Amino acid sequence: MLVLAIETSCDETAAAVVRDGRTILSNVVSSQVKDHAVYGGVVPEIASRKHLETIPAVVGEALRLADVTLDHVEGVAVTQGPGLAGALLVGLSVAKSIAFARGLPLAGVNHIEAHLAAIFLEREVAYPYLALVVSGGHSHLYRVDGIGRCTTLGQTLDDAAGEAFDKVAKLLGLPYPGGIEIDRLASAGDPDAIAFPRPLLHDGSFNFSFSGLKTAVLSAVKKQGIPEGEKLADFCASFQKAVCHVLVEKTFRAADATGIDRVVVAGGVACNSALRREMAHAAAARGVELMIPSPSLCGDNAAMIAVPGDYYLRCGEQGGLALDARVNWPL
């Protein structure tokens, strides 16, 4: 089935054409980062307006790059939530219009489910697997038994991992979005220079908490001022190590506890070079199979929406024209 997928849950306007939920024919992502950077974070009203301005060209480009027209498309998949209400509504309206005008089936997709299924665009994965989804809005650990069959093992009790990266970057005076900037600076730093706390590391649960770590960073900055040069690199590397340590430990403890020896890491923070490296070390040491999508499929994109989308369209589980945005939509 040839699916046109649309994603507008946050600050990326994205459209993709995917065959059978597996083969990417095109995957166009137009980032609004520059429009939000001046405010130090995503401004929901600006996000909606930018989606509205950009989406016709993004959908057109996705069709053009795939070398197809709407005549070839057999189904439409769209992010229904979770995300920013106004931003989601833009994608939903466009998807509904196309589906209505062309008489196509339409499926609403959960953005988090799409993140943890993105790996199928690069390889098959046997069920069950454990999935750590770490993004700007989520830090969740799931047991995945199939599409639509996810069990939450743990989640953040406060900030998401990406949110912690972005807030700490802001405290350090780094540009938005901060995660990628901390990753870049950390590559020249000593990760053992500062012993930042590892929240909830030994609490026996699979939950996370990053706000205490953010407070530790804030008090360090208050005491010594914003570090510069080598000290800034050490600071970033030490903070990054603290976040990665907790994510890696909890994920592999969940693998031990459940006996599941397949782990998928997904979401924007899965682009982090230290997390990829530390996950790979831990997986090799424990004989666990680790799968992390290529960075372009970890961050927000529309191709990943087509993976569960294709499945739901085939099952006939379609929201159709009655689909409404689900701002909060736990898996």
| Contact residues: Zn ion, CB under 5 A | 135, 300
Q: Which residues of this protein are in contact with ligand KG4, per CB under 6 A?
A: 10, 135-137, 162, 165-166, 177-180, 183, 267-269, 271-272, 299-300
Interacting partner of 252 out of ligand KG4, Zn ion, none (Cβ under 5 to 8 A depending on kind): none
Max distance between CA atoms of the chain, in angstroms, equals 63
The least CB distance from residue 273 to ligand KG4, in Å, is: 7
Q: Which residues on neighbouring strands pair with residue 30, listed in sequence order?
A: 13
Residue 75, amino acid: G
Nearer of residues 166 and 278 to ligand KG4, judged by Cβ: 166
Nearer of residues 69 and 328 to Zn ion, judged by Cβ: 328
Residue 25, classed as helix, strand or coil, is strand
The least CB distance from residue 259 to ligand KG4, in Å, is: 29
The least CB distance from residue 238 to Zn ion, in Å, is: 26
Interacting partner of 183 out of Zn ion, ligand KG4, none (Cβ under 5 to 8 A depending on kind): ligand KG4
Nearer of residues 63 and 168 to ligand KG4, judged by Cβ: 168
CB contact at 8 A, 70 and 102: yes
CB contact at 8 A, 168 and 183: no
Interacting partner of 189 out of ligand KG4, Zn ion, none (Cβ under 5 to 8 A depending on kind): none
- Specify binding-site residues: 111, 115, 133-137, 166, 179, 183, 272, 300
- Specify binding-site residues for substrate: 133-137, 166, 179, 183, 272
The least CB distance from residue 112 to Zn ion, in Å, is: 7
> Which residue is listed with tokens 């005008």?
101
Does the N-terminal peptide bond of residue 330 adopt cis geometry, omega within 30 degrees of 0?
no
Task: Give the 3-state secondary structure of 268-288.
Answer: HHHHCHHHHHHHHHHHHHHCC
Rounded Cα distance between 11 and 221, Å, is: 29
Nearer of residues 27 and 318 to ligand KG4, judged by Cβ: 27
The least CB distance from residue 299 to ligand KG4, in Å, is: 4
Please name the residue ranges forming H helices in 22-84. 33-37, 44-66
Interacting partner of 165 out of Zn ion, ligand KG4, none (Cβ under 5 to 8 A depending on kind): ligand KG4
160 dihedral zone (left: phi>0; alpha: psi -120 to 50; beta): beta
